[in-house]
Amino acid sequence: MNDLNLAFLKANSLPDVQANKDERALPIERVGIRGLRHPITIRSAQGDFPSVGNFAMDVALAAEEKGTHMSRFVSLLQEKRAAIDSLEVVKLAKEMLPLLEASEGQIELTYTHFVKKIAPVSAVESWMDYEVTWLAKARQLNQGEISVDLCLRALVPVMSLCPCSKEISEYGAHNQRSHVTMTVALDSNSAMTVEDLVAIAESEASSELWGVLKRPDEKWVTERAYDNPKFVEDLVRDVAGKLKQDQRVISLTVEAENFESIHNHSAFAKISIA
């Protein structure tokens, strides 16, 4: 017997403390791992691109079970996987439950999503980045079927111009960069993409943003925002109203935060629709 086989036998003869029964009669709602960074490939309308995913993965633990199989969370991600989109996130959650021998669990994936944008006048191309989170909650049903509740969250930076400032000023109006954060619950077979969600927020802002703008573009953006003023209340209502009309959205939460240019504080608003 060579040294490698001997080491394998010794490893498999080691006691598995985690597999012992627990006598405290206390189930655990969620147990797993957080802060796991892992290379991923993202599927987008403009083609696949690499990114780094920050994962949180957990399952429910029955009262009689001492511990979960922590290493299996990582092993699940180590397998060769297709590019990440809504359907792949659902598939990952469905694979996790039998692997972890659990009745329910969830996966949260946060990463940076890139969209190539074209400036409005010069047509120069540049990349915009958006913070995106997929959340998949899975549970085992009676006949062995696994149900998954899917949520998509995107933080979209936009521009907002104050209607009151425009109305009372002889010239100009104060404006600021704003963050619109949308969290939407989707059908697990939904075809909504990150680009779809981003476009909704950008279409309802005073103006969307670009990574690179030439002088003619800057003039266009400035005048576009001046002609389309929005309070933070307008911004959150308009985005929520548009999402409410989308048949792919089951429920939604929209938050808007304006980083005020004339104050040292932010203005914010939030709407939730079940």
CATH number of the domain within which 107 lies = 3.10.270.10
Which range scores top for mean pLDDT: 18-27, 75-84, 171-180? 171-180
Q: What is the pLDDT of residue 28?
A: 96
Q: Which residues lie closer than 8 Å to 230 by C-beta, 6 or more apart? A: 160, 161, 163, 204, 205, 206, 238
**Residue pLDDT, tens place only, 39-51:** 999 999 899 999 9
3: in domain = no
Token pair belonging to 3: 């040294």
DSSP E strands: which ranges in 64-211?
Answer: 104-118, 125-140, 146-161, 175-186
Give domain status of residue 97, yes or no: yes
Average pLDDT, the chain: 93
What pLDDT, on a 0 to 100 scale, did the predictor assign at position 81? 81
**pLDDT at residue 144 in the model:** 81
4 belongs to a structural domain = no
Of 188, 201, 169, the C-alpha closest to 92 is 188
Q: How far apart are CA 11 and CA 5, in angstroms?
A: 10
pLDDT band of residue 245 (cuts 50, 70, 90) is: very high
Q: Would you say the pTM of this structure is higher than 0.95? A: no
* Contact between 135 and 108 (Cβ < 8 Å): yes
Which pLDDT score, from 0 to 100, does residue 21 have?
86
Residue 52 has a pLDDT of 96
pLDDT at residue 45, rounded to an integer? 86
Q: What percent of the chain has pLDDT over 70?
A: 94
What is the count of structural domains for the chain? 1
- CA 31 – CA 18 distance, rounded (Å): 13
pLDDT (tens digit per residue) in 59-99? 999 999 998 999 999 999 998 788 999 999 999 999 999 99
pLDDT band at 5 (very low <50, low <70, confident <90, very high): low
Q: Is 202 within a domain?
A: yes
Q: Is residue 232 included in any domain, yes or no?
A: yes
Tokens coding 5? 């086989």
**Cβ proximity of 192 and 248 under 8 Å:** yes
Question: Which range marks the domain in which residue 221 is found?
Answer: 20-273
The answer to whether residue 157 scores a pLDDT higher than 80 is yes
- pLDDT given at position 199: 97
> Residue 3: its pLDDT value, please?
61
pLDDT band at 11 (very low <50, low <70, confident <90, very high): low
Which amino acid makes up residue 83?
A
User: What is the pLDDT at residue 189?
Assistant: 81
